[in-house]
Amino acid sequence: MNSLMKDKNIVVMGVANNRSIAWGITKSLHNAGANLIFTNRQERSKQKLEKMLAENDIEAKAIVSCDVSDDDSIVKAFQEIGEKVGTIHGLVHSVAFANRDELKGEYADTSREGYLLAQDISAYSLVAVTREAKKLMTEGGGIVTQTYLGAERVVPNYNVMGVAKAALEASVRYLAEDVGKYGIRVNAVSAGPIRTLSAKGVSGFNEKMSVIEEKAPLRRQIDQDQVGDATLFLLSEMARGVTGEVLHVDSGFHIVAGS
């Protein structure tokens, strides 16, 4: 336990279960003394989250529902957060979605509907939540989203999600410029492959994991805790000079030619 985030109110979006990257982030933030507020999409996942929090002795300042595909839901969620905790100092955006049948085969076969869906939930949502979160971030702070190498390079089967992540990373830069004047920083963590519910939807995911052990400089897998600690760093004062950045937490895989 440390006090890096003592008295900081941080909103965490995207805990689905104990494999979620957002759960690794939750544990890192809790260990750093943050006050945690959660948003979740469904009542079912709220119950699961409450159970996980109780089992790990983590207190939630609030749990509010928020469907990021719905502007009203986002506005209401942040109003509720404002009423319950007042000022917030950080936001974790760990949310994405694409149709499973478009995470295989050829990118050229992506449907218009599937393209828009992936962009809406996985990229535009950061824009919409930043707009609402900044109203509560009156003392400045950090926003951190989660991205993947498929934004920068062609990763087989990642397809429509890779293009959504490219939009997400560009949004990080544009949003960083917008909110920098309010003392708010916007960054992304680009994690190597981790076995989660969302990752299961990407065809050939196991190969993406094994190649990290073979080719990445550190020759080992990434886990939720490593991403949690890197996200904690970006949210904390330790990263006060860092914004608009994509920090790779991938055992160095992205630097290897032909990887």
Residues that bind ligand NAD (CB under 6 A): 14-16, 20-22, 41, 66-69, 94-97, 121, 146-148, 191, 193-194, 196-199
Which residue has tokens 């002795």?
A: 57
Q: Which is nearer to ligand NAD, 66 or 172 (CB)?
A: 66
Least distance (Å) between residue 186 CB and ligand NAD: 15
Q: Which is nearer to ligand NAD, 4 or 144 (CB)?
A: 144
Least distance (Å) between residue 203 CB and ligand NAD: 13
Q: Which is nearer to ligand NAD, 149 or 179 (CB)?
A: 149
Task: Choose among 118, 144, 171, 185: nearest CA to 14.
Answer: 144
Q: Is 148 among the catalytic positions?
A: yes
The catalytic residue among 107, 115, 158, 174 is: 158
The single-letter code of the amino acid at 200 is K
DSSP state of 17: S
Q: Is 115 among the catalytic positions?
A: no
Asked whether the beta carbons of 98 and 122 are under 8 A apart, the reply is yes
Query: Which residues, at least 6 apart from 9, have a Cβ–Cβ distance to it below 8 Å?
Result: 34, 35, 37, 61, 85, 86, 87, 88, 89, 90
Q: Please give the Cα distance from 121 to 102 (Å, whole number).
A: 15
Distances (CA, A) of 27 to 58, 154, 211: 8, 32, 27
Q: Is 194 exposed, middle or buried (0-12, 13-18, 19+ CB in 10 A)?
A: buried
The catalytic residue among 115, 148, 174, 182 is: 148
Least distance (Å) between residue 99 CB and ligand NAD: 12
The phi, psi pair for 32, rounded to 5°, reads -95, 10
Q: Which is nearer to ligand NAD, 64 or 239 (CB)?
A: 64
Q: Which is nearer to ligand NAD, 94 or 251 (CB)?
A: 94
Least distance (Å) between residue 156 CB and ligand NAD: 14
Catalytic residues: 148, 158
